[in-house]
Chains A and B, each alone.
Chain A
């Protein structure tokens, strides 16, 4: 079965500490991978797309095909990073129409 797992529902770190939000997927083939973020009282929005290989707001995401993981990382967390983060691998055979979201991790960055 095609599954997306974000093992941590809640993650709390102090400001300035490194943060890693985990995402594991089980798909045949090579999905494209996205991270979405939802800040308090804002809409769900794209944070980054792995194929772009960009760093957005200091976040990067590394695809590990061997471990089928796509963890989101930031070396120094800021209070404004507090939000809900969703990993969304997209099955390649279905195309990008069928986004598959994980259950999400709520990140809290404490001062």
Chain B
């Protein structure tokens, strides 16, 4: 298994445009999470999806949206791009969602580097 895969690896957009990032989880994993990592900072949680339903959302504006498909792959969409959206976007998968009292290790992908000009 190649692990979590993300596409594209790099992307350059201009302000106001829209972008779609893609993630394929490890085979057998049903949960996908998205993180934004701005240069010099740690990853920040954006969304978590499990069984095609949103299970968690971080403190991001409505310009950010995501979905999960029946094969458990996921897309992250960002509308009306701002310069501040430039970051590395990480996807992580786990076997199932983690709740308040249960933890499932997340496995991270290599990320998509988004540059907004």
Interface on A for B, CB 8 Å cutoff?
Answer: 4, 9, 32, 43-46, 49, 86, 88, 92-104
Contacts and interface: CB of A to CB of B under 8 A. Distances in A.
Contacts of A102: 42
A96 B103 contact: yes
B106 interface: yes
Q: Which size bracket describes the interface of B in this complex?
A: 20 to 34
Contacts of B42: 4, 86, 88, 101-104
A86 B43 CA distance: 9
B3 A46 contact: no
Given A43-B110, A44-B43, A103-B42, A97 B103 contact: no
Contact of B33 (A4, A94, A97): A97
Nearest to B108: A44
Contacts of B99: 95-97
B108 A43 contact: yes
Contacts, number: 63
B56 A95 contact: yes
30 contacts: A4-B42, A9-B40, A32-B103, A43-B3, A43-B107, A43-B108, A43-B109, A44-B43, A44-B90, A45-B107, A46-B105, A86-B43, A88-B42, A95-B56, A95-B99, A95-B101, A96-B98, A96-B99, A96-B104, A97-B45, A97-B48, A97-B97, A97-B98, A97-B99, A99-B33, A99-B45, A100-B45, A101-B44, A103-B40, A103-B42
Nearest to A45: B108
A104 B56 CA distance: 23
B29 to A, nearest CB: 14
A68 to B, nearest CB: 18
B58 interface: yes
A43 B108 CA distance: 6
B63 interface: no
Contacts of A45: 107-108
